[in-house]
Structure 1
Amino acid sequence: MIPITVVDVRDAESLVVEVLRSGAIAQGPMVHRFEAAFAQVAGTRHAIAVNSGTTALVAALEVLDLHSADEVVTSPFTSVATLNAILEAGATVRFADVRAEDFTLDTDSTAAAIGARSKVLMPVHLFGQAANMSKLTSLAEAHDLHLVEDAAQAVGATFEGRRVGGYGLGCFSLYATKNVTTAEGGVITTDDDELADRLRLLRNQGMRVRHQYEVAGHNYRMTDLHAALGIPQLDKLDTNSAVRAHNARRLSIGLAGTPGLSTPLALPGREHVWHQYTVRVGPHAMLSRDELAAALTERGIGNGIYYPRLVFDYDCYRDHPLIPDASAEALPVATTLTREVLSLPVHPALTESDVDVVVATVRELLGA
Structure 2
Amino acid sequence: MTVLLWVSALSLLVWLWLACGHGFFWRTDVRLPERRPPERWPSVAVVVPARDEAEVLPVSLPSLLAQKYAGQARVILVDDHSGDGTGALAAALATPDGLPLTVTSPPPLPSGWTGKLWALRHGVELAGEVDYLLLTDADIAHGPDSLAELVAAARSADLDLVSQMARLRVTTGWERLIVPAFVYFFAQLYPFRWSNRPGARTAAAAGGCSLVRRGALERAGGVAAIRGAVIDDVTLARAVKSTGGRIWLGLAEQVDSVRPYPRLEQLWRMVSRSAYAQLRHSPVLLLGTVLGLALVYLVPPVALTAGLVAWLSTPGGPPAVVTGTALTGAAAWALMAGTYLPMLRYYGRPATAALLLPFTALLYLLMTVDSAVQHRRGRGAAWKGRTY
Pairwise same-fold verdict (TM > 0.5): no
TM-score by length of 2: 0.28
Query: Is the helix fraction higher in 1 or 2?
Result: 2
Query: Rg bigger for which structure?
Result: 2
